[in-house]
């Protein structure tokens, strides 16, 4: 049974460090801002830390589990939540006699959190490291000619000014290279040129490519039409309300909403696949026990592996069952990516390595 350990805030304060670039890019690491006033600086800082832990914990949960499960888990007390904190990095901080202001990088302990979710039988979005390329075409007004590579494409600039961070999924604008400019134009993107979009996907090793067609919608904000390579022309519309007289803020908000929309779609698809479970009976022939130890580690390192149970072993053979989640294609590809191959027979699979 998962048990919370009693951790003091003082112990976590002692773990504060200057944050690293590696921590910043982890999906389990979240940058949070706190501004707390209390009777003295020490109490203000303690309250700020509790707030930072909660913000980070809830942000990571939203990436991994359904909205309903995230809301349920967020009902934990501060003392329970502190058990999931691995590190706290100070980006910047200021303090007075009664106030504490800081930007902190809070890292959630991945192993502890995932163990807790497994025990509670909470489905998680088993993450493919999805890479999504955005082609941001821009028109000031709907009737205007679309812009893509031009310097006055404010929509592209908004994407370039907001690098991706703290996500399970990489959702970034098409790179500004000669190759990119040669493979697709604004007109091709707007017309859903499938061949050009496929070329973008291949050259960028992307899981999908989205055309994000944005223009100012009257005086009420920004209208963004999303069409992806995998959607077969099915369009989705995002309306971003805001002041078009402040286009930088409005377009930056649009970038965040597009990323959130696509990220939620990927998470929901992964959650749906995590509910598809199968058990594979497998036979593996090995020359040395060390070979089996290595193969077992490889299988357990696949994110879709839930459990591996050895049924019998001897004479250079091991018979085992492995519980997996996801579609057959996803599981097969995951095995192949580890250098493993499954051959199906009547009632079992033969594993080759």
Same domain membership, residue 225 and residue 329 = no
Q: Is the pTM of this model over 0.85?
A: no
- CA R_g for the chain: 24
Band (226; pLDDT cuts 50, 70, 90): very high
At which of 72, 87, 119 does a domain end?
119
pLDDT above 70 (res 166)? no
> Residue 173 and residue 160: Cα distance in Å, rounded?
7
The answer to whether position 249 is within a domain reads yes
The answer to whether position 125 is within a domain reads no
Give the count of domains, the chain. Answer: 3
Band (125; pLDDT cuts 50, 70, 90): confident
Same domain membership, residue 173 and residue 89 = no
Band (24; pLDDT cuts 50, 70, 90): very low
Q: Is the dihedral of CA 58, 59, 60, 63 positive or negative?
A: positive
CA 17 to the chain's CA centroid: 25
Question: What are the pLDDT digits (tens) for 105-124?
Answer: 999 998 899 889 888 888 88
At which of 96, 119, 142 does a domain end?
119
Neighbours of 328 (CB within 10 A): 10
Residue % of the chain over a pLDDT of 70:
90
Same domain membership, residue 75 and residue 22 = yes
Same domain membership, residue 176 and residue 103 = no
Instruction: Dig out the tokens for 11 from the structure.
Output: 């112990």
Which pairing describes strands 305-314 and 317-325: parallel, antiparallel, or unpaired? antiparallel
Residue % of the chain over a pLDDT of 90:
62
Same domain membership, residue 159 and residue 113 = no
The 3-state DSSP class for residue 196 equals helix
Cβ atoms of 90 and 15 closer than 8 Å: no
Instruction: Name all contacts of 223-232 with Cβ < 8 Å and 24+ positions apart.
Output: 223/142, 224/254, 224/257, 224/258, 226/258, 226/261, 226/262, 227/192, 229/194, 229/197, 229/198, 229/201
Cβ atoms of 211 and 197 closer than 8 Å: yes
What is the predicted pLDDT for the residue at 306?
A: 86
Question: What are the pLDDT digits (tens) for 47-67?
Answer: 999 999 999 999 999 888 888
The answer to whether position 89 is within a domain reads yes
Band (167; pLDDT cuts 50, 70, 90): low
Looking up tokens 């749906």 gives 272
Same domain membership, residue 144 and residue 267 = yes
Where does residue 40 fall: left (phi above 0), alpha (psi -120 to 50 degrees), or beta otherwise? beta
pLDDT above 90 (res 227)? yes
> Residue 78 and residue 51: Cα distance in Å, rounded?
9
Which pairing describes strands 349-352 and 317-325: parallel, antiparallel, or unpaired? unpaired
Report the length, in residues, of the chain.
Answer: 353
> Residue 349 and residue 353: Cα distance in Å, rounded?
13
The 3-state DSSP class for residue 173 equals strand
Calculate the alpha carbon distances from 11 to 46, 78, 108, 252, 329 in Å. 12, 15, 16, 38, 46
Same domain membership, residue 111 and residue 38 = yes
Cβ atoms of 283 and 350 closer than 8 Å: yes
What is the predicted pLDDT for the residue at 326?
A: 82
Question: What are the pLDDT digits (tens) for 286-303?
Answer: 999 999 999 999 999 888
At which of 243, 272, 301 does a domain end?
272
Instruction: Dig out the tokens for 229 from the structure.
Output: 């390579």
The answer to whether position 142 is within a domain reads yes
Mean pLDDT for 67-90 is 91
Instruction: Kindly give the interhelix angle for 110-119 and 41-64, rounded to the nearest 10 degrees.
Output: 60
The answer to whether position 217 is within a domain reads yes
The answer to whether position 43 is within a domain reads yes
Q: Which residue segment(s) compose the domain that 333 sits in?
A: 277-352
Same domain membership, residue 265 and residue 168 = yes
Same domain membership, residue 309 and residue 208 = no
Question: What are the pLDDT digits (tens) for 243-260?
Answer: 888 899 999 999 999 999
CATH code of the domain in which 294 resides? 3.30.70
What is the predicted pLDDT for the residue at 19?
A: 46
Same domain membership, residue 179 and residue 237 = yes
Mean pLDDT for 156-160 is 97
Does residue 166 or residue 347 have the better pLDDT? 347
Does residue 19 or residue 151 have the better pLDDT? 151
- Which H/E stretch holds residue 236? strand 235-241
Band (20; pLDDT cuts 50, 70, 90): very low
The answer to whether position 1 is within a domain reads no
Instruction: Kindly give the interhelix angle for 247-274 and 41-64, rounded to the nearest 10 degrees.
Output: 60
Rounded to 5°, the CA angle 7-301-314 comes to 115
Same domain membership, residue 230 and residue 135 = yes
Same domain membership, residue 151 and residue 89 = no
Band (6; pLDDT cuts 50, 70, 90): very low
CATH code of the domain in which 205 resides? 3.40.50
pLDDT above 60 (res 69)? yes
Instruction: Dig out the tokens for 301 from the structure.
Output: 């390192």
What is the predicted pLDDT for the residue at 251?
A: 95
Averaged pLDDT score across all residues of the chain: 88
Would you list the DSSP string of 246-261? Answer: SHHHHHHHHHHHHHHH
Neighbours of 51 (CB within 10 A): 17
Band (1; pLDDT cuts 50, 70, 90): low
pLDDT above 80 (res 128)? no
The answer to whether position 126 is within a domain reads no
């Amino acid at each position: 049974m998962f048990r919370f350990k009693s951790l003091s805030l003082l112990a976590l304060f002692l773990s504060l460090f200057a944050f690293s670039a590696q921590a910043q890019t982890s999906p389990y690491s979240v940058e949070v801002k706190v501004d707390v006033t209390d009777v003295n600086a020490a109490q203000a800082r303690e309250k700020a830390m509790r707030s930072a832990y909660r913000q980070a914990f809830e942000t990571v949960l939203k990436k991994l589990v359904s909205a309903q499960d995230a809301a349920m888990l967020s009902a934990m007390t501060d003392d329970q939540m502190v058990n999931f904190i691995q590190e706290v990095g100070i980006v910047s901080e200021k303090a007075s006699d009664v106030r504490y202001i800081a930007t902190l990088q809070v890292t959630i302990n991945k192993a502890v959190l995932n163990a807790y979710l497994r025990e509670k039988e909470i489905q998680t979005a088993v993450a493919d490291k999805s890479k999504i390329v955005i082609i941001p075409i821009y028109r000031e007004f709907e009737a205007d000619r679309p812009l893509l590579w031009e310097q006055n494409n404010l929509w592209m600039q908004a994407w370039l000014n907001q690098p991706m961070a703290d996500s399970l999924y990489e959702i970034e604008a098409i790179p500004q290279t000669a190759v990119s400019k040669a493979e697709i134009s604004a007109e091709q993107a707007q017309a859903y040129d499938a061949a050009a979009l496929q070329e973008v996907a291949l050259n960028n090793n992307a899981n999908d490519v989205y055309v994000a067609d944005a223009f100012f919608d009257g005086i009420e904000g920004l209208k963004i039409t999303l069409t992806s390579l995998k959607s077969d022309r099915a369009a989705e519309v995002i309306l971003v309300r805001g002041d078009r007289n402040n286009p930088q803020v409005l377009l930056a908000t649009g970038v965040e909403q597009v990323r959130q929309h696509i990220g939620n779609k990927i998470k929901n698809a992964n959650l749906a696949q995590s509910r598809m479970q199968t058990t594979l009976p497998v036979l593996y022939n090995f020359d040395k026990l060390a070979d089996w130890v290595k193969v077992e580690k490889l299988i357990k390192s696949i994110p879709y592996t839930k459990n591996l149970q050895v049924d019998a072993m001897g004479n250079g053979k091991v018979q085992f069952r492995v519980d997996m989640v996801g579609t057959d294609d996803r599981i097969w590809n995951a095995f192949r990516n580890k250098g493993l191959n499954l051959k199906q027979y009547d009632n079992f699979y033969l594993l080759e390595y």
